[in-house]
Amino acid sequence: MTTTEQLVKKSWAEAIKETAVEFGLTSLPIISGAIPSKLRGSFYCNGSARLERGGETVKHWFDGDGAVLRIHLNSAGATGIYRYVKTAEYLEEEQSGKLSFMGYGTMPSGSIWRRFFKPIKNVANTSVLALPDKLLALWEGGHPYALDLETLNTIGLDNLEWLTNNLSYSAHPKQDPLTKEIYNFGLSYGKKTFLNVYRCDFKGKIIAKTAIPLEGAPLVHDFVVAGQYLVFLIPPIRLQIFPLLMRLKSLSDNLSWQPKRGTQILVVDRENLNLLSRGVTEPWYQWHFGNGYVDLDGSVLFDFVQYSDFKINQYLKEAATGYTKTPAKGTLHQIRLNPKTSKVKEIACVFDRCCDFPSVNPNKIGQPWRHTYLSVLSKEEDIGQEIIGGTFACVDYKTNTYKLASLGEGNYGTGPIYAPDPNNADQGWILTVVYNSNSNQSEFWIFDAQDLSAGAICRLALPKVIPIAFHSTWNAA
């Protein structure tokens, strides 16, 4: 490591590199403000919580062991609990004291033969889905792990009564607020690559599935529900399958940016899961979508965070070290397209600050909506140096304006999550876990979603540092 790199160690690094410490059921003291009387339920977040074993560090932020935080709010106050997801791979590495499995960006030490007979590690660290009788810890490459909703004890792998060994269940399911049906997808690689699309009941059971063939072996992280459609954007990333199967390079190192392919658009009927249209547009990369709906003229509108290329992957690889230098700027864009042809009618940048992790009121999923909330980089000149989340934004599509809420110098929040007011579907709160690098402590913050720029209306202290998480959810009581 060069002297220059040592001088620019990031203030947020300890909330990524530090190995998380579990804690049992703990009362959470109020630092300031008060818990809203109508905010009752559980907040869950999931992320990479352990990046090191036996003196060896993983090579990508995505490869840390997953750990889930639950914060429960009721009339008596707030409690918290934090547990690792006890996957089979986690337990084996706990016993051996070393990194033994291949990850998204990590190759374990040892011979190729040793790697060849090991599966890719299920890190269960990307997101969470709260179902009536269990919590699912989700990742990209396989089955979810089921946890107890209250204790967070690991129950085990869950196939949702349909998934076979070669099928995966991705980290961004969408639940229709009216029908309560859940939609998700997973990629299966082989001689041919398939986009497997799932329709599930409100308990998570898969009740319908389709397999759509894809060109090459792309990387797909998220999708959007828009009225009666599911829309997938397939970025021009392609995976070299043979080196991966032979364990010569990690999955991340086998991904190549191929902009000449353009971004493919797939529109799927969400009722019968039939592919309705397939098109292609200009090349970009995206991790996450906000929301979508069908306009009066029949066109589909949705927003997403667009990157001009795939440099964000290199930045996330660097984040695991605490020393970042690769500039990767995502901006919020909105698309209007014809669902019958997948032809883009219009695309525009609607928020040009560096941002990601868009979130909307879950009561509006698939329907017209007014506000999209985002994690934002506090200073544009810090692109590639700082991490997003020092500021939140609320983009208002009715007024075509936005409001910002700074979390304060040295504070970094997980992506904003909307918790609806049970008595008013158009109002609610924004929830986040904040790492305070000045005191090396974590807190839980609550904002009024209708007055984000006023700052947190309640702050709760957490007993341990919670590594900056990837995704969260709110499960109302």
Q: What is the pLDDT of residue 3?
A: 41
Taking only the tens place, the pLDDT of each residue in 395-414 is 999 999 999 999 999 999 99
pLDDT band at 112 (very low <50, low <70, confident <90, very high): low
Domain coverage including residue 226: 23-358
C-alpha Rg value of the chain to the nearest Å? 21
Q: What is the pLDDT of residue 114?
A: 65
Average pLDDT rounded to a whole number, residues 61-67: 97
Q: What is the pLDDT of residue 6?
A: 47
Long-range contacts of range 6-10, CB-CB < 8 Å, 24 or more positions apart?
8/323, 8/325, 8/385, 9/322, 9/323, 10/322, 10/323, 10/324, 10/385, 10/386, 10/387
Amino acid sitting at position 351: F
- Asked, for residue 201, whether it belongs to a domain, the answer is yes
pLDDT of 31 over the 90 cut:
yes
pLDDT of 102 over the 60 cut:
yes
DSSP 87-119: -HHHHHHHHHTS--SB-SS---SS-HHHHHTSP
Q: What is the pLDDT of residue 453?
A: 92
Give the other-Cβ count within 10 Å of 245's Cβ.
12
- Cα separation, 477 vs 475, whole angstroms: 7
- Cα separation, 135 vs 132, whole angstroms: 8
- Asked, for residue 129, whether it belongs to a domain, the answer is yes
- Cα separation, 431 vs 423, whole angstroms: 18
Average pLDDT rounded to a whole number, residues 351-380: 97
Residue entry with tokens 């007024």: 399
Share of the chain above pLDDT 70, in %: 96
- Asked, for residue 110, whether it belongs to a domain, the answer is yes
pLDDT of 243 over the 80 cut:
no
Least confident segment among 63-67, 143-147, 160-164, 291-295: 160-164
* Contact partners, residue 110, CB within 8 Å, separation at least 6: none
Q: What is the pLDDT of residue 2?
A: 41
pLDDT band at 7 (very low <50, low <70, confident <90, very high): very low
Average pLDDT rounded to a whole number, residues 278-297: 98
CA distances from 317 to 58, 60, 106, 379 (A): 9, 4, 10, 21
Average pLDDT rounded to a whole number, residues 247-254: 85
pLDDT band at 150 (very low <50, low <70, confident <90, very high): very high
- Cα separation, 274 vs 242, whole angstroms: 31
Q: What is the pLDDT of residue 326?
A: 95
Q: Is 60:104 a contact under the CB 8 Å cutoff?
A: yes
Q: What is the pLDDT of residue 115?
A: 65
Q: What is the pLDDT of residue 120?
A: 87
63, two tokens = 């490869």
Residue 121: give its domain's CATH number. 2.40.128.630
3-state secondary structure of 354: coil
Give the DSSP H or E segment for 360.
Answer: none
CA distances from 450 to 68, 210, 220, 400 (A): 28, 40, 33, 15
* Contact partners, residue 242, CB within 8 Å, separation at least 6: none
CA neighbours closer than 13 Å in the CB half-sphere of residue 400: 4
Average pLDDT rounded to a whole number, residues 214-233: 97
pLDDT of 10 over the 90 cut:
no
The beta-strand segments (E) located in 158-192 are 174-175, 182-188
Average pLDDT rounded to a whole number, residues 114-139: 91
- Cα separation, 83 vs 452, whole angstroms: 30
pTM score, two decimals?
A: 0.95
User: 195 forms bridges with which residues in the sheet?
Assistant: 187, 212
- Asked, for residue 409, whether it belongs to a domain, the answer is no
pLDDT band at 110 (very low <50, low <70, confident <90, very high): low
List the 135-138 sheet strands across, edge first: 127-130, 135-138, 145-147, 154-157
Average pLDDT rounded to a whole number, residues 258-277: 98
Taken as a whole, the chain contains a residue count of 477
Q: Is 4 exposed, middle or buried (0-12, 13-18, 19+ CB in 10 A)?
A: exposed
Average pLDDT rounded to a whole number, residues 250-263: 94
- How many domains is the chain partitioned into structurally? 1
Q: What is the mean pLDDT of the chain?
A: 94
pLDDT of 393 over the 50 cut:
yes
Taking only the tens place, the pLDDT of each residue in 199-209 is 999 999 999 99
pLDDT of 365 over the 90 cut:
yes
Average pLDDT rounded to a whole number, residues 51-55: 93
Amino acid sitting at position 416: P
Average pLDDT rounded to a whole number, residues 124-131: 98
pLDDT of 280 over the 50 cut:
yes
Least confident segment among 105-114, 139-148, 262-271: 105-114
- Asked, for residue 180, whether it belongs to a domain, the answer is yes
Q: What is the pLDDT of residue 273?
A: 98
Q: What is the pLDDT of residue 166?
A: 87
Q: What is the pLDDT of residue 250?
A: 86
